[in-house]
């Protein structure tokens, strides 16, 4: 019989909750929780995490007191470590606890990984106040007294955080920092915008309070973290000698670049390797374009060529060539070094021990393509150039929406796919109109997309 993973058995005391995380998944467990665990003042900083819609992670981790095994997958083998910085895991439905943390003066930082979709934004960055879930949440908030906020059910991240802030103001619990950890440019301002838009709809007086009491910090996050497999669970048990319902596989590489103030303090994340900078933008662009952009290109194109994982795809000379051309194209628009970064990326992708499914990366392309690919497309067209790799990524996404390659898992894809039919020129026009409306009418670009569709299909397996 193997041992159960608990704090008592492993001698890990729970640190006081000063960080609340919205949207607990494997990424946060491999990234922010790892940095917090390794900060020199780790024993002062506990994370209370809330799941997304599915309560599974709370069910799995609560019996383990929030502990779990991080499996770092080196190309040469695996390293195992018990992480203990997550001290409580709540299902999203436990909104009473969510509100209580916000109302506590101890709470210093709120972090999020709600993915690009979770911001509920319109293409111009404003809150999508026509989205059914947003409409319902705002209605609920308008009809709820502050002292009853813990008993409501909300679905969207901007509304939840707004509810938390309303409770915090009421409690006089002081200033805090909100630090989104999603793959979006300027994620702090992006989240600020949607929460402020929500506040305007519910209680505009909160805007002024937020200006004085909430700092919206921004960061670039990076660590490739696939979903947990049965083999990971079995291996953790075999090597570590205990049962872990939810170990996390991750790569050795990790980067966190943060900018912003922390009026109520923060862990000494630098002591664990995080960088605190004045301007995140150059790091963010490099990561979003080079890493995430090539991920998306592979996620849509490579399954059509018969590949299932990043490690499979990157050793196919055709895909590798496409990725390297994309790096040159995207890199030429960056203000920072990118050649060494690209070399390191190749090594990360080639790691045969990481089984990163292309179908997982393919999720929610309607939110990812505009952020990862469109800037290069637009910048190059403005210079009169034909960005053939950005074009290839758009063509691959279009093929994906048309039913090729990985299955479509994207609640907002309908906005584009409803316009797609059998005429490739019309399809390319519709997709372009969604990805970069400012390039509407660029017939040369439309032709390039249809040619790229042919090229990708000519390699089909
Ligand atoms: C990936 C990212 O699923 C995706 O869209 O591109 O999750 C990527 O693995 C991380 O951003 C790496 O830091």
Q: Tell me the per-residue pLDDT of 178-189, one tens digit each, with 9 for 90 and over.
A: 999 999 999 999
Q: What is the pLDDT of residue 85?
A: 98
Looking at every residue in the chain, the average pLDDT score rounds to 97
The pLDDT of residue 425 is 98
Q: Is the CB of residue 362 below 6 angstroms from any atom belonging to ligand 1?
A: no
Count CB atoms within 10 A of the CB of residue 106: 12
pTM of the model as a whole: 0.96
Question: Looking at residue 178, what DSSP letter applies?
Answer: E
Beta strand 255-259 with 218-222 is antiparallel
Whether 457 shows a pLDDT value over 90: the answer reads: yes
The secondary structure of residue 335, as a DSSP letter, is S
Taking the C-alpha atoms of residue 328 and residue 290, their distance in angstroms, rounded to an integer, is 9
Does residue 427 line the site of ligand 1, with CB under 6 A? no
Query: Residue 75 pLDDT > 90, yes or no?
Result: no
User: Which of 23, 25, 292 for mutating ligand 1's site (highest number of atoms within 8 Å of CB)?
Assistant: 292
Residue (of 180, 345, 353) closest to 250 by Cα position: 353
Q: Is the CB of 295 under 6 A from ligand 1?
A: yes
Q: What is the pLDDT of residue 370?
A: 96
The finding on whether 290 has its CB within 6 A of some atom of ligand 1 is no
Q: For residue 99, is pLDDT > 90?
A: yes
Question: What spacing in Å lies between the alpha carbon of 291 and ligand 1's midpoint?
Answer: 8
Ligand 1 atom nearest 295 alpha carbon: 6
- Whose structure tokens read 């999720």? 363
Q: Which residue has the tokens 């990524």?
A: 393
Does the CB atom of residue 364 touch ligand 1 within 6 A? no
pLDDT tens-digit series, residues 210-227 = 999 999 999 999 999 999
Of 183, 248, 372, the residue with max ligand 1 atoms within 8 A of its CB, to mutate for a pocket test, comes to 183
Ligand 1 neighbour 251 (Cβ under 6 A): no
Overall average pLDDT of the 386-407 stretch:
98
pLDDT value, residue 367:
94
Percent of the chain at pLDDT > 90 equals 98
CA distance 119 to 328: 30
Reported confidence tier of residue 307, pLDDT bands at 50, 70, 90: very high
Cα–Cα distances in Å, from 24 out to 57, 154, 177, 182, 183?
8, 17, 18, 12, 15
How far apart are the CA of 1 and the centre of ligand 1, in A?
37
Nearest-angstrom CA–CA distance, 158 and 294: 29
Q: Which helix (H) or strand (E) holds 89?
A: strand 86-90
Contact of 288 with 282, CB cutoff 8 Å: no
- Give pairs for 399-404: CB < 8 Å, separation 24+: 399/300, 399/301, 399/304, 399/453, 399/456, 399/457, 400/299, 400/300, 400/303, 400/362, 400/365, 401/365, 401/431, 402/427, 404/303, 404/304, 404/457, 404/460
Pocket test for ligand 1, best of 115, 295, 300, 365 (most atoms within 8 A of CB): 295
DSSP states of 17-82 = EEEEEES--HHHHHTHHHHHHHSTTGGG-EEEEE--S--HHHHHHGGGTT-EEEEEEETTEEEEEE
Can you tell me the distance from the alpha carbon of 114 to that of 59, in angstroms, rounded to the nearest whole number? 19
75, 18 contact by CB (below 8 A): no
Query: Is the distance from the beta carbon of residue 183 to the nearest atom of ligand 1 less than 6 Å?
Result: yes
By alpha-carbon position, which residue is closest to atom 9 of ligand 1? 224
336-341, long-range: CB within 8 Å, 24+ apart, which pairs?
A: 336/282, 336/283, 336/286, 338/286, 338/290, 341/286, 341/290
Least Cα distance to 401 among 438, 432, 443 occurs for 432
Confidence class of residue 123 from pLDDT cuts 50, 70 and 90?
Answer: confident
Question: Which residues, 6+ apart, have CB-to-CB distance to 214 below 8 Å?
Answer: 165, 175, 176, 177, 178, 192
Q: Of ligand 1's atoms, which has the minimum distance to the CA of residue 223?
A: 13
C-alpha distances out from residue 292 to 98, 152, 224, 371, 430, Å? 31, 36, 10, 9, 23
> What is the tens place of the pLDDT at every residue in 22-61?
999 999 999 999 999 999 999 999 999 999 999 999 999 9
Question: Is residue 292 lining ligand 1, measured as CB closer than 6 Å?
Answer: yes
Q: Is 6 exposed, middle or buried (0-12, 13-18, 19+ CB in 10 A)?
A: middle
Atom 10 of ligand 1: nearest residue by CA position: 224
Mean pLDDT of 89-94: 98
pLDDT of 119 over the 80 cut = yes
What count of Cα atoms within 13 Å lies in the side-chain half-sphere of residue 18? 20
Confidence label for 461 from pLDDT (cuts 50, 70 and 90) = confident
Q: How far apart, in whole angstroms, are the C-alpha atoms of residue 297 and residue 324?
A: 11
Residue 23 and residue 56 in contact, taking contact as beta carbons nearer than 8 Å:
no
Per-residue pLDDT of 105-117, as tens digits, reads: 999 999 999 999 9
pLDDT score for 384: 97
Which of 226, 354, 361 is the best mutation target for the ligand 1 pocket, counting ligand atoms within 8 Å of the beta carbon and taking the most? 361
Pocket lining: 224 vs ligand 1, CB cutoff 6 Å: yes
Which atom in ligand 1 lies closest to the alpha carbon of residue 31?
Answer: 13
CA-closest residue to ligand 1 atom 6: 292
Quick one: tokens of 73?
Answer: 């997958």
Flag whether pLDDT at 2 surpasses 70: no
Q: Is residue 453 very low, low, confident or very high in pLDDT (cuts 50, 70, 90)?
A: very high
Q: How far, in Å, from the CA of 73 to the mean position of ligand 1?
A: 16
Identify the three-state secondary structure at position 130: coil
Mark out the alpha helices in 144-266 (DSSP H runs): 157-171, 187-202, 205-213, 230-240
State if residue 348 touches ligand 1 by the CB under 6 angstroms criterion. Answer: no
Tell me how far apart the alpha carbons of residues 104 and 168 are, in angstroms, rounded to a whole number.
7
**Could you give the CA distance from residue 280 to residue 126 in angstroms, rounded to a whole number?**
22
Closest residue CA from atom 3 of ligand 1 = 361
């Amino acid at each position: 019989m193997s041992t159960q993973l608990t704090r008592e058995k492993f001698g890990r005391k729970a640190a006081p909750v000063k960080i609340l995380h919205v949207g607990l998944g494997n990424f946060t467990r491999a990234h922010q929780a790892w940095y917090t665990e390794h900060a020199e003042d780790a024993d002062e900083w506990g994370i209370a995490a809330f799941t997304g819609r599915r309560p599974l992670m709370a069910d799995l981790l609560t019996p383990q007191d929030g502990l779990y095994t991080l499996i770092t997958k080196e190309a040469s083998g695996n390293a195992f470590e018990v992480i203990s910085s997550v001290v409580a895991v709540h299902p999203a439905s436990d909104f009473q606890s969510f509100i209580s943390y916000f109302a506590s003066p101890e709470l210093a930082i709120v972090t999020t990984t709600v993915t690009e979709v979770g911001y509920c934004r319109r293409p111009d960055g404003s809150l999508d106040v026509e989205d059914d879930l947003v409409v319902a949440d705002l209605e609920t908030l308008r009809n709820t007294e502050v002292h009853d906020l813990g008993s409501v059910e909300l679905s969207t991240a901007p509304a939840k955080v707004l509810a938390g802030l309303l409770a915090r103001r009421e409690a006089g619990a002081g200033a805090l920092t909100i630090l989104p950890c999603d793959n979006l440019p300027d994620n702090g301002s992006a989240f600020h915008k949607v929460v402020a838009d929500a506040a305007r709809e519910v209680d505009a007086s909160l805007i002024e309070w937020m200006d004085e009491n909430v700092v919206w910090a921004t960061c670039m996050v990076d660590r490739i973290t696939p979903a947990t497999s049965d083999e990971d669970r079995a291996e953790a048990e075999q090597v570590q000698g205990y049962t872990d319902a939810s170990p996390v596989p991750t790569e050795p590489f990790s980067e966190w670049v943060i900018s912003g103030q922390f009026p109520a303090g923060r862990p000494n994340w630098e002591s664990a390797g995080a960088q605190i900078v004045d301007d995140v933008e150059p790091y963010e662009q490099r990561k979003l374009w080079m890493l995430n952009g090539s991920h998306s290109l592979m996620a849509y194109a490579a399954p059509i060529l018969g590949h299932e994982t990043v490690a499979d795809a990157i050793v196919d000379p055709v895909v590798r060539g496409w990725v390297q051309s994309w790096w040159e194209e995207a890199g030429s628009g960056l203000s920072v070094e990118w050649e060494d970064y690209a070399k390191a990326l190749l090594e990360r992708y080639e790691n045969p021990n990481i089984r990163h499914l292309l179908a997982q990366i393919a999720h929610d392309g309607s939110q990812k393509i505009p952020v990862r690919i469109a800037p290069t497309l637009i910048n190059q067209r403005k210079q009169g150039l034909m960005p053939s790799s950005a074009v290839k990524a758009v063509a691959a996404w279009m093929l994906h929406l048309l039913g090729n390659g990985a299955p479509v898992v994207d609640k907002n894809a309908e906005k584009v796919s409803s316009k797609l039919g059998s005429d490739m020129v019309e399809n390319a026009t519709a997709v372009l109109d969604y990805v970069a409306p400012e390039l509407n009418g660029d017939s040369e670009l439309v032709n390039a997309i249809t040619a790229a569709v042919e090229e990708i299909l000519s390699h089909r397996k």
